[in-house]
Amino acid sequence: MSTSLTPTITVREMQETAPADLELRLIAGADGLSRNITVPRIQKLGLALAGFANYIHPGRIQIVGGSEVQYLEQLSPERRLEVMKQLPLESMACVLITRGLIPPGEFLETAEAACLPVFVTPQVSSLAIVKMTDFLQKRLAPSVSLHGVMIDMFGLGVLILGESGIGKSECALDLITRGHRLVSDDVVELRRSGYDKIIGAAPLIVRNHMEIRGLGIINIKDLFGISAIAVEKQLDLAIKFERWAPDRNYDRLGLDEKHINILEVDIPLIEIPVTSGRNLATLIEVAVRNHLLKMRGFHAAREFVAKHTQILDKEEGKQ
């Protein structure tokens, strides 16, 4: 398992992979492309140009729009240099100027001297902020890679875990033949979205493929069509296969609710003991259907225990 709880992205990587419709164009500070972007939130330079620079957060992209450019243009060249020198240029990740505007020469000269990358986009500030924030939230989200298989079943993202060779991929293939969709086989990349959501996807190199012992590498998209593939899915349930241990007491009622912590988010966990002859695909389908009922407020095991308790109470009352 590999984890990245505090990911970063360089300005160069941002430039190369940002949404194409931003049409980023570098106009200064090429020597600073190795700077790191550490925060997905975008900050407007705004009041910092008027002297309130204490609220400039390091590692962020700074937006400069029409109002900022107009403000700089009405200053004298000497005052522009003073304003630029007051800014913490060394802690900024880069500057993004919107509407295709070009700032005064003093701005670009100071940025070039400080090796601060300055980009221009033809987009308006509001749209540029939305697109760049969405891009950075995905790239800078805490992430982890797990050994397992992820399937989209009945609209839920299900992660199948277990030791190598226990039958995860074969079970997943059986589920795909029943109409469920493959997200990833062997390695699942998980990233946190927001505070309590985990999104799973396949690494690009193994996307659409499965490794089945005896068959080798197969392409699920080619075999079953595009409808058998899900590019990514929110993780709702984890199911772990375990070798049957005769000396272990397994939960026979379903009252014990377990969780697995992934990227500081608790995901419901169901442990299924594996022995020869058990139809694992059917067990998983039933487990997912039962989990759907729990999400809707119906807990079969609790209802069962409650009914039996009522019967026992009535019997005791007659005595």
Q: Which of 196, 202, 304 is nearest to 259 (CA)?
A: 196
Task: Quote the tokens at residue 139.
Answer: 């790239």
Q: Which two tokens stand for residue 288?
A: 């997912």
In the residue annotation, 168 being an active-site residue is answered as yes
CA distances from 281 to 206, 273, 287, 302 (A): 23, 13, 10, 25
Using an 8 Å Cβ cutoff, are 104 and 83 in contact? Answer: no
| Residue tagged active-site, from 213, 247, 248, 252 | 252
Residue with tokens 């980023």: 24
Nearest to 25 by CA among 127, 113, 101, 76: 101
| Catalytic annotation present for 240 | no
Token couple for 51: 């002297």
Q: Which of 147, 178, 258, 259 is catalytic?
A: 147
> Quick check: is 191 catalytic?
no
C-alpha torsion angle, residues 169, 173, 178, 181 (rounded to 10): 80
180 carries an active-site annotation: no
Q: Which two tokens stand for residue 127?
A: 């749209």
**Residue of 168, 192, 240, 291 with catalytic role:** 168
Considering the candidates 41, 99, 131, 186, report the single residue annotated as catalytic: 186
Which residues are known to be catalytic? 147, 168, 186, 252
